[in-house]
Amino acid sequence: MNALVTDVKLRSLGPYPLHQADSEECFYGNRLIYTSWENHLMYAAPFCLPLPPTLPFGALVRVVLPEIYGEHPEFEQIDWERTQWFNSNQRFRPDFGKSLEHHGLTHKSLIRFRTPALEGIKRSTGPGRQAF
């Protein structure tokens, strides 16, 4: 998935130095972490958060996630023991006492979590799923 990308098609008249606009050192000791609660599209897009790499995974779950997803009617019903966690598409089992860094959640990593019993608000009116 993460094959080495090269600049074969970039053409320029002169030198074209590399300038990464979002290097980790620009974020005051934090790194950017994206979060996506799968199937819950009431939140229109995944979130982008600046978080310290030392943040324990348990604090992410107990402090950060309630702040950003708490308004969803299903949030309180989440069984964190059964929640499935993915670093992009890679499944991982978090240790709540260990840091984001420990879990390999580098700068600009995407955490996707799936809550199997809760698949968004379902309505009986439509023929399909009413996921949000």
Partner 1 sequence: MDARVIKKKLGLKDRYTAMTRGLHWDTTYQPMEEVFPYDSYEGIKIHDWDKWEDPFRLTMDAYWKYQGEKDRKLYAVIDAFAQNNGQLGISDARYVNALKLFIQGVTPLEYYAHRGYAHVGRQFTGAGARVASQLQAIDELRHYQTETHAISHYNKYFNGMHNTSHWNENIWYLSVPKSFFEDAYTGGPFEFLTAISFSFEYLLTNLLFVPFMSGAAHNGDISTVTFGFSAQSDESRHMTLGIECIKFMLEQDPDNVPIVQRWMDKWFWRGYRLLTLVAMMQDYMLPKRVMSWKEAWEMYAESNGGALFKDLARYGIREPKGWKDACAGKDHISHQAWATFYQYGHAAAFHTWLPEQSEMNWLSEKYPDTFDRYYKGRFDHWAEVQKSDGRWFNQTLPMLCQVCQVPMMFTEATDPTQIDFHETTYHGMKHHFCSVHCKGIFEDEPKKYVQAWIPVHQIYQGSCYPDDINPASPGDSPVREVLRYYGVNPGEDNGDFSTSPDRSNFAKWRGDKRKAGESS
C-beta closer to partner 1: residue 44 or 93: 44
Beta strands in 1-132 (DSSP E): 31-37, 47-51, 84-87, 90-92, 109-114
Shortest distance in whole angstroms from residue 90 CB to partner 1:
12
Shortest distance in whole angstroms from residue 78 CB to partner 1:
17
SS3 50: strand
Candidates 132, 111, 94; CA nearest to 49 is 111
Site residues, partner 1 (CB under 8 A): 1-3, 5-7, 9-13, 16, 18-23, 26-30, 32, 34, 36, 38-39, 41-50, 67-68, 71, 73, 88, 106-110, 112, 120-121, 123, 125-132
Candidates 76, 119, 85, 77; CA nearest to 104 is 85
C-beta closer to partner 1: residue 48 or 97: 48
